[in-house]
Structure 1
Amino acid sequence: MKIIVCVKQVPDTNEIKINPETGTLIREGVPSILNPDDANALEQALQVKDANPGTEVTVITMGPPQAKEMLQECVAMGADEAILLSDRALGGSDTWATSNAIAAGIRKAGDFDILFAGRQAIDGDTAQVGPQIAEKLGVPQVTYVKEFEMKENGIVVKRALENGYEMLKVKTPCVLTAIKELNQPRYMSVRGILKAAKQEIKVWNAEDIGVDQTTVGLKASPTNVFKSFTPKPKGAGIAVEGDTPKEKAANLMAVLKEKYII
């Protein structure tokens, strides 16, 4: 069995700050991490590998050269192979252009049985790339997977909804996007770290994957970020006093009238 996992290196959102003058992200000094939902996707792939000897797990990402560090972490966790799509021609891609590039990279990597991806990346929160890849590869997809089970004639998953869940059966090859409730990602092992230090990370450019360069990059992207900003902090609130609910209501009405709200 062959499994591919789409991963992404993202800035740690707990450390992100925005320049109030330019409205752009301040990336200097901000650590990069493996996208949390992608860690759950990788963990599920590794669990399938543990239960099915002979299974190969390949991780693939698109990004700058420093994304190799994140891929090495994936190998240290248990992945067998890592592929980085890196080229200036791919820079500035939105979700549509990104999925074009990754789908082309997956085609070059070869056939697969299951493609796992995280539900969404914490630096964009669009949840679009996984489903778009599935459409471009022409395979079935299930998003928001919170439970996974291999069967003889397919895969059974529980898909989270806003007000419940769905139990779905899907045949391979397929694309599944994971949420954090699916599992608890494992840590890197000492043996895995030593393996990752020696592991060669494959680096493919736009020509290597044979992607139509008019469908990737900033110019090909139908969407772009106009401006990023943080909302202004709200003023301190006040506590309405009163011994009884009726008195509190009366005092609240007085405050609202004083501020000409009513």
Structure 2
Amino acid sequence: MTSHAVPGPHAPTLDLGGRTALVTGAAGGIGRACALRLAAAGAKVRAVDRDARGVEELAESAAHLPGTVEPHALDLTDLDAAELAAHGTDVLVNNAGLQLVRPLQAFPPDVFHTVLTVMLEAPFRLIRGALPHMYGQGWGRIVNISSVHGLRASPYKGAYVAAKHGLEGLSKTAALEGAAHGVTSNCVNPGYVRTPLVARQLADQAQAHGVPEERVLTEVLLQDSAVKRLIEPEEVAEAVAYLCSPQASFMTGTSLVLDGGWTAH
């Protein structure tokens, strides 16, 4: 009897031709990877970051892709400008973030305020700016780059944990309101990602936990992860791409966790 191999399922192809995507914090790390992935799918990407040269370099590196990357230098603490930048957006990726590792009694109030502004209030204003267009066409994708810290707390990260927990709630509210209009809203929750943001934490974490800096990665950052490595920005970008695909149209109001087993404990 002749055996006929059954063809396996085809990987879904993401086609965002004719769509406009906005990615915040696009000059590096997760944001850069997301901007390139969406441009590879054909989107016209508005790359938003306060690092003007960084987004210009990103646009240059994306010149060969099917879509385009348009650099937009913007400080997200300018909330009115952030909302305006989101007008006409089909896909919104709220990614920009900052971090400071300090115990609560030593945490500078001005930094706490800035973290909440950039990582919670700015996403609200960007969603607010994007929704009229999304509702008008009956389609939209909101992807909020949260964190395992949107689901779990860690010491010495009061502002970051508070902002990410707030972002989870904002995302769920957007999902409930947007469902009738063809708009989904989800969080992507990575563990520690190989980014400059994580690299800059090492010295502060060493001081806070009283361990040498070279031991922070294994003894602090990856202590609760079953998979003992950092996740790559491109892996997070693939999760973002999936949430923009037709196959994910029923997925809304949830958190896609990429934490190496951290929350399985």
TM-score, normalised relative to structure 2: 0.35
| Greater C-alpha radius of gyration | 1
* Structure ranking higher on relative contact order (CA contacts 8 Å, 6+ apart): 1
Which structure: greater helix fraction?
2
TM-score, normalised relative to structure 1: 0.36
Which structure: greater strand fraction?
1
